[in-house]
Structure 1
């Protein structure tokens, strides 16, 4: 008979997206040292406030992360799939591979908007809605470079219109052709726009 953890890996979890169809399977897969890096997990804050503490053990991380995960919902009231118990690192953590990022975008249509458009507008024109909790996944150079040319440049910036590409005919001081990401994740929004950028938008 297969062990509990072995069954979880075989039947209950998508090991690419690191999401499972039950809480128990999720915790079991998460506890596997090959899937969860202890040194990264124990540095993570339990919540966003500066005063928040860190996880005391891998088990605490797995138990908490598998229970609720904003990245597994769409429009804040529906799950993206049956595999909604996820143990992957939060999207703004280091160490995400392209495969992991793409897996978390399953069910999301990524659309490059027109100049000056907000993501709300971009998605609406495609009969969909912007999914705000996926913006952080797109706010990375390696992802933007798949959809924009970026002209060899990807720069940190501050603006609610990011992630975005500066249009070619923008003033020189705005770095025409460059891709922009923000280091301040809290300002990412679906309604941000700028007259000289094209946004990269997550729609569903």
Structure 2
């Protein structure tokens, strides 16, 4: 039985369509399987890098294609970090610790402005916030030429981000009785007179302008200072050079103390 040229052309066309369809399907599968993950990384360190997956590695072990650290070692490592102050002695481990969802809430940090002007933008991701926040900033410097501590890489929310930090502060102060002491009185004395004890690690939570303003008048301003009596408010009849009416917070977190006092200030105390 002979096949006409017309039928032969039609069969050839059908075979060609089937072959092209299977080829296209195979190409699509290959593309899907070969899709790669690309990481954002820090670039500040001389020897170490941190990626947005929360790993820290040296520059030589970074995957040249994906720009990701090997998935080895501890993820979200807080090596060399003080979780109370949320400050670290290493930039890369600060970023690694910060990107941990247990440490940093995405819905809060994405509201934080990158700079102070009202026109400043906000961070696009938790990693962008952590990479920017962990760099040296004015809150960790004294006299603009020295660090307050070796732990000067901090990822805590900035003190001027009241909207983002209110709920966090309320959570960290749960069960704490915040009391304003009398002039020249220490927190140990304030809490003892109320049948309680001063909770030292909660002084760090109170040591923020937004929190101090909630409890004190701060008629002058909220100023960075140095002293074991802080956070506190300067009394109205203090000498003019002490900024009467101003509230004070300390940039040197190691100075926070329950027994500190000053004859010209009233302390803000956490008691329990």
Q: TM-score, normalised by structure 2?
A: 0.46
Name the structure 1 match of 2:239. Answer: 171
Higher relative contact order (CA 8 A, sep 6+): 1
Name the structure 2 match of 1:93. Answer: 156
CA 152–195 in structure 1, closer or farther in 2 if over 3 Å, else same:
closer
Name the structure 1 match of 2:81. Answer: 47
Deviation at 1:131, TM superposition (A): 0.1
**Distance across 2 between alignment mates of 1:187 and 1:114:** 20
List runs of 5+ in structure 2 lacking aligned partners. 1-51, 56-75, 83-87, 104-129, 131-153, 159-163
CA RMSD of aligned residues (A): 3.4
- Confirm or deny that 1:144 pairs with 2:212: yes
Q: Which has the larger radius of gyration?
A: 2
**Distance across 2 between alignment mates of 1:97 and 1:39:** 25
Name the structure 2 match of 1:157. Answer: 225
Instruction: Tell whether the 8 Å contact from 1:136 to 1:188 is kept in structure 2 after alignment.
Output: yes
**Distance across 2 between alignment mates of 1:115 and 1:160:** 14
CA 152–44 in structure 1, closer or farther in 2 if over 3 Å, else same:
farther
**Distance across 2 between alignment mates of 1:55 and 1:100:** 19
Deviation at 1:62, TM superposition (A): 6.4
Name the structure 2 match of 1:129. Answer: 197
**Distance across 1 between alignment mates of 2:227 and 2:206:** 14
**Distance across 2 between alignment mates of 1:165 and 1:112:** 9
Aligned residues: 142
Name the structure 2 match of 1:80. Answer: none
Matches within 5 A, 1:176-195: 176-195=244-263
Structure 1's consecutive aligned runs of 4 or more residues displaced over 6 angstroms after TM superposition are 38-45
CA 40–161 in structure 1, closer or farther in 2 if over 3 Å, else same:
farther
SS, match of residue 193 in structure 1:
coil
The C-alpha deviation readout for 1:77-102, integer Å capped at 9, x for no partner, is xxxxxxxxxxxx9x971255111101
List runs of 5+ in structure 1 lacking aligned partners. 1-37, 66-88
